[in-house]
Each structure stands twice: as C-alpha cells, then as structure tokens.
C-alpha cells in the first residue's frame, strides 16, 4: 500500500464519524488507517468496530489510556507503509489531500504538509494557516523558543517512515509539543520540508483541547525541545512537564480565542463564544471588553 494513516482517539465519539468519512473518501484510496483507541470510555470503540467491519483498510489498536504521544508511537510502530500520514480526530481532510501530498513526497521531501483551515466546532472559519517549507526548516534549526514555528498543523503532516526512524520518532517524554520536537530532529538530520499552498486540511479548534492551562505546558516543552536542539537541557526535563487537567479558566481562554477569531471574520456568532467565556471565568476581562465593543 502507498500510505499508512495514523490517528489517535480518546472519547471522540461525537466527532469521530465525520473524521473517518473524510479519510475514507480520499481520491487516493490505497492506504491503511491505523486508529489507536487510547482507552476511550464513550461510544468510540463501538463506532470504530462498525467502521472496521465495513472497510478492511481500518485497523483498530486498543490500549489503556496513555496520552496522545504514546498513542502515536504505537500507531507509527504498527504502520506497514513507507509513508505515514497523520490525522487528528475531529478534523477533516479534503478529498485530494493524500494524492497531493504523496506527489510532493515523491519529489524528495522528508515531510510535507499543507495550508490548513482552522474552524470552530460548528465548522465556521476562524483563520487559514500557511507556511513555507524552507522557512519552516530554517526556523526549526535556528529560531529561539519564542519565535520558532513549524507546520500549519500536526494533523496535516505526511512523512517518510525512514526519516521518522532516523530521527528517533516521537519521544514519550514530550506529552505536548511532540511534533515540534520531532520536526527539529528531522531537520537536523537533513530532512527537507514542503508545504502545499492548497487548503487540504480542516482543523477544529476545540475549547477543551487548547485550554490556557495546557498552553503553559506547551510553551515549556517548546523551550525544552529548543534547548535539546542547542545541546543543553535533558529529556528528564521534558518528562517532568505534565499538562494539567482542563479547567473552566482554561476553557474560557479558548472560548475567548474562538470568539475573537470569529469576530475578525465578521461572524456575529463570536459574541456567543465571548459570553460562554465569561460564564466559565467571570474575571476574564478581555472577554468582557470585547463584549462591550472595546478592542
């Protein structure tokens, strides 16, 4: 087969069918889809079993809950193709994504990605992220933690399995920023990056996945990944960073972000997200100011 698609899911029943449908509808159909069920307790196992019974390309791997990074390590270890594509539960790929990215990989890149359309949970546009592959590689090799940037979205990535293996793969110590850590090591190993300007991936911004509390862990792990690149720091530093549980305050920060993005798109629905933000955190003064029309 041409491609192994690796996706992890934990309690994703509400959004899983739409994600699976977008993958199975690809114009390039020669792939296997490895879904690592990371200890789900909702209807996720039943949904996966139903889809797997109908489509032999789907392989379900079940494990006790261990977090995204360990689930991705497991999924990549199960991959049988020389090319691995990532996908996140809750996101959708445009029908031509796999075909387009495989063409770019055939030209010699180690990692390819694409412009990504970020949407709210109802599918409304927040913003579109684009990047230049050469600039991304330069940033991965040279920029500090404050300015470093990588692919438009982790789930939009497709990469060569040999490049992944040479770099050492995902590292379990990185419970967040695991993709940035991997891309840095692939870049240091000489791998090149190509990012299609076509919007081929829709990433859903979920208020429970980008909480303000988890953001602090993401920043700290980015700093450690850069320190390791530059010859100091240690993996034990990364292992000591544990993203905290999602809190109402963290959700409020995410809801505020979504609301502001919608208002920038002239979508009045943004005010609803701002109201939800202050319900979860009445002291979120930026949300209050935005509700009263103060920028």
Q: Are residues 197 and 156 in the same domain?
A: yes
pLDDT band for position 244 (50/70/90)? confident
Q: Are residues 185 and 277 in the same domain?
A: no
Residue 122 lies in a domain: yes
Q: Is the pLDDT of residue 212 over 60?
A: no
Q: Are residues 214 and 254 in the same domain?
A: no
**Torsion of Cα atoms, 261 then 262 then 263 then 265, to 10°:** 90
pLDDT band for position 209 (50/70/90)? confident
How many other CB atoms sit within 10 Å of the CB of residue 264?
Answer: 12
Average pLDDT, the chain: 96
Whether the predicted model's global pTM rises above the 0.85 cut:
yes
Residue 240 lies in a domain: no
Q: Are residues 59 and 183 in the same domain?
A: yes
Q: What does the alpha-carbon distance between residue 261 and residue 253 come to, in Å, rounded to a whole number? A: 13
- Which residues have a Cβ under 8 Å from the Cβ of 39 and sit 6 or more positions away? 10, 62, 63, 64, 65, 66
- Return the pLDDT at 30: 98
Q: With contact defined as beta carbons under 8 Å apart, do 218 and 132 qualify? A: no
Q: Are residues 192 and 279 in the same domain?
A: no
Q: Are residues 91 and 11 in the same domain?
A: yes
pLDDT tens-place string over residues 62-79: 999 999 999 999 999 999
Q: Are residues 20 and 60 in the same domain?
A: yes
Q: Are residues 13 and 120 in the same domain?
A: yes
What is the percentage of the chain residues whose pLDDT exceeds 70?
98
Q: Are residues 124 and 195 in the same domain?
A: yes
Residue 284 lies in a domain: yes
Q: Are residues 258 and 285 in the same domain?
A: yes
What total number of domains does the chain contain? 2
Q: What does the alpha-carbon distance between residue 163 and residue 152 come to, in Å, rounded to a whole number? A: 20
Residue 195 lies in a domain: yes
Q: Which domain holds residue 98?
A: 3-229
Q: Are residues 256 and 221 in the same domain?
A: no
Residue 239 lies in a domain: no
- The domain that holds 16 is classified in CATH as 3.90.550.10
Strand partners for 117 = 128, 202
Q: Are residues 26 and 137 in the same domain?
A: yes
């Amino acid at each position: 087969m041409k491609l192994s698609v690796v996706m992890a899911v934990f309690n994703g029943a509400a959004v899983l069918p739409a994600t699976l449908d977008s993958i199975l509808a690809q114009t390039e159909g020669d792939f296997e889809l490895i879904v690592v069920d990371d200890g789900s307790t909702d209807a996720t196992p039943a949904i996966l079993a139903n889809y797997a019974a109908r489509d032999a390309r789907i392989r379900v791997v079940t494990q006790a809950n261990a977090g995204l990074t360990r689930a991705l390590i497991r999924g990549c270890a199960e991959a049988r193709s020389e090319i691995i594509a990532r996908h996140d539960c809750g996101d959708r790929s445009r029908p031509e994504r796999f075909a387009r990215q495989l063409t770019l990989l055939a030209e010699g890149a180690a990692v390819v990605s694409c412009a990504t359309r970020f949407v709210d949970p109802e599918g409304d546009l927040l913003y579109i992220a684009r990047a230049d592959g050469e600039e991304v590689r330069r940033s991965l090799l040279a920029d500090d933690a404050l300015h470093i940037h990588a692919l438009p979205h982790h789930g939009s990535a497709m990469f060569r399995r040999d490049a992944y293996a040479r770099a050492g793969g995902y590292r379990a110590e990185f419970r967040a920023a695991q993709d940035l850590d991997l891309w840095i090591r692939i870049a240091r190993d000489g791998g090149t990056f190509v990012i299609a300007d076509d919007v081929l991936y829709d990433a859903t911004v979920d208020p429970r996945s980008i909480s303000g509390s988890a953001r602090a862990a993401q920043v700290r792990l980015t700093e450690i990944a850069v320190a390791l690149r530059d010859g100091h720091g240690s993996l034990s530093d990364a292992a000591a960073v544990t993203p905290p549980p999602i809190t109402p305050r963290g959700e409020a920060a995410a809801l505020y972000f979504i609301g502001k993005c919608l208002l920038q798109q002239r979508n009045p629905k943004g005010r609803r997200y701002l109201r939800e933000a202050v319900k979860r955190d009445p002291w979120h003064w930026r949300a209050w100011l935005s509700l009263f029309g103060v920028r």
